[in-house]
């Protein structure tokens, strides 16, 4: 079968201390400090077969994520840009839907049948470490990540643990066109990342709240729709890309601005009649720009959910958090807490319509063209169809 494989050289930058964990596992904790000379190639690879507790899926749709772009792009010294946990070579791709072709031995696959349509968590949490046992799978100590440390879904088929699969029949009930249903199902994962930040981590908001979303990429577009679905009276979005601003409007944001032209804090205070934001969502990965605006616009009891990733320090004026009785929540991941089944229900009910954010499709044979297009950062979600 064909798969889009990323290979790279293990060449830690001078000054980067390789930890005993990295040495023993071959996994880089900070990918961009270790993996050099990345090469992405669509190659012939053997079709895997499912072991105990696993299922083999025929991949039907796979989204291109910002992380995938950070594998495609590299810096001046030819290191990958992606900062996180990685092990190569691996097939990339982690936002996907597929059809079960084969079920491995053991009880875990018993709830599924061949032909079932599913989407899959990207985080392979172990279930037996301390944090998993405490109920926090997004912080598993033995984490593997599909498309980052093990083979992903930009391929014709993939083997995944059955425990990570979620049926998507509700999405097929909603969309008469099956192709659309497969593609929408592949957007479940990024929407779950937004759900985890807004509801699981930050605890959500009461209906009627003012919600501000910074960044309208796929995570921000998910946050906008979730906020509307949960009863926000006004959702204000800031986004530098014009295409994405139009998508933010299309999925229901009430006010959408280019933060370069319209200073965010002034706009938020104006629209909220001076009351400020009950919830601000960082989905831009630019905290040095967004956090000061959020800090200035905190409502009393206001919350900040940090979902976008950025390896940067940001100064904060904590006095403001005290005076406004406010809090900031760090969010990572999408697993556990009923998040996947809830988002699948929302997609199935039409309260979230991710068909609106899919802006391009490519066959697997043109996967590299899909990644190239994604580097322009003008799309909502780009989908690869094997
Ligand atoms: Zn992703
Ligand atoms: Zn664990």
Cβ neighbours of residue 187 closer than 8 Å, sequence gap 6 or more: 63, 95, 218, 347, 354, 357, 358, 381
What are the tens digits of pLDDT across the range 305-321? 999 988 788 999 999 99
Q: Yes or no: say if 345 and 355 are a contact pair by the CB < 8 Å rule.
A: no
**What's the half-sphere exposure (Cβ side, CA atoms, 13 Å) at 201?**
28
Question: Which of 352, 378, 374, 369 lies closest to 187 in space, CA to CA?
Answer: 352
pLDDT in tens, 252-272: 999 999 999 999 999 999 999
Query: What is the rounded average pLDDT for all residues in the chain?
Result: 96
pLDDT (0 to 100) of residue 312:
82
The rounded percent of the chain whose pLDDT value lies above 90 is 96
Sequence-ordered alpha helix ranges (H) in the chain: 20-25, 66-72, 130-133, 169-174, 178-186, 188-195, 218-229, 242-250, 264-271, 287-296, 318-323, 339-349, 367-374
Cα 333 to averaged position of ligand 1 atoms, centre (Å): 10
Report yes or no: 364 and 154 within 8 Å, Cβ to Cβ. yes
- CB distance 331 to 309 below 8 Å: no
**What's residue 18's pLDDT?**
95
Distance 93 CA to ligand 1 centre (A): 8
Which one from 70, 94, 334, 337 is the annotated catalytic residue?
Answer: 70
pLDDT per position as a tens digit, 318-335? 999 999 999 999 999 999
Can 67 be counted among the known catalytic residues?
A: yes
190 alpha carbon – ligand 1 mean position (Å): 6
Cα–chain-centroid distance for residue 331? Answer: 11
Cβ 84 vs Cβ 149: under 8 Å: no
Indicate which residue of 67, 241, 280, 335 is catalytic. Answer: 67
Q: How far, in Å, is the centroid of ligand 1 from the Cα of 248?
A: 19
**Residue 378 has what pLDDT?**
82
Residues flanking ion ligand 1, Cβ below 5 Å: 65
Ligand with an atom nearest the CA of residue 133: 2
Give the pLDDT band of residue 379 (cuts 50, 70, 90).
confident
Give the H or E element holding residue 43. strand 35-44
Give distance in angstroms: CA of 339 to centre of ligand 2: 18
């Amino acid at each position: 079968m064909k798969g889009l494989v990323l290979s790279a050289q293990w060449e830690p930058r001078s000054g980067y201390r390789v930890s005993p964990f990295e040495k023993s596992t071959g996994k880089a904790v900070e990918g961009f400090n270790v993996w050099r000379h990345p090469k992405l190639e669509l190659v012939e690879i053997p079709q895997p077969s499912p072991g105990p507790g696993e299922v083999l899926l025929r991949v039907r749709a796979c989204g291109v994520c910002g992380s995938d772009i950070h594998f495609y792009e590299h810096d001046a010294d030819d290191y990958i840009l992606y900062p996180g946990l990685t092990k190569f070579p691996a097939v990339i791709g982690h936002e996907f839907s597929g059809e079960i072709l084969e079920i491995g031995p053991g009880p875990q696959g018993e709830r599924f049948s061949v032909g079932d349509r599913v989407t899959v968590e990207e985080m392979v949490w172990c279930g037996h470490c301390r944090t998993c046992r405490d109920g926090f799978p997004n912080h598993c100590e033995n984490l593997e990540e599909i498309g980052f440390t093990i083979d992903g879904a930009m391929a014709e088929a993939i083997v995944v643990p059955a425990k990570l699969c979620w049926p998507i029949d509700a999405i097929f009930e909603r969309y008469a066109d099956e192709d659309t249903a497969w593609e929408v199902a592949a957007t479940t994962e990024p929407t779950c990342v937004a759900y985890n930040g807004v509801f699981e981590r930050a605890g959500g908001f009461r209906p009627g709240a003012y919600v501000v979303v910074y960044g309208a990429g796929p995570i921000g577009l998910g946050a906008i729709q979730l906020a509307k679905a949960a009863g926000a009276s006004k959702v204000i979005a800031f986004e530098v890309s014009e295409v994405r601003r139009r998508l933010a409007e299309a999925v229901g944001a009430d006010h959408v601005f280019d933060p370069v032209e319209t200073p965010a804090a002034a706009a938020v205070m104006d629209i909220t009649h001076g009351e400020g934001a009950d919830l601000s969502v960082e989905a831009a990965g630019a905290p040095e720009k967004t956090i000061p605006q959020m800090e200035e616009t905190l409502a009393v009891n206001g919350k900040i959910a940090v979902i976008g990733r950025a390896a940067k320090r940001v100064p904060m004026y904590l006095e403001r958090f005290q005076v406004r009785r406010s809090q900031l929540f760090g969010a990572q991941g999408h697993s556990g807490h009923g998040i996947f089944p809830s988002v699948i229900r929302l997609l199935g009910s039409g309260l979230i319509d991710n068909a609106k954010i899919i802006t391009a499709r490519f066959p697997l044979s043109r996967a590299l063209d899909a990644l190239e297009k994604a580097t322009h950062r003008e799309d909502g979600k780009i989908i690869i169809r094997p």
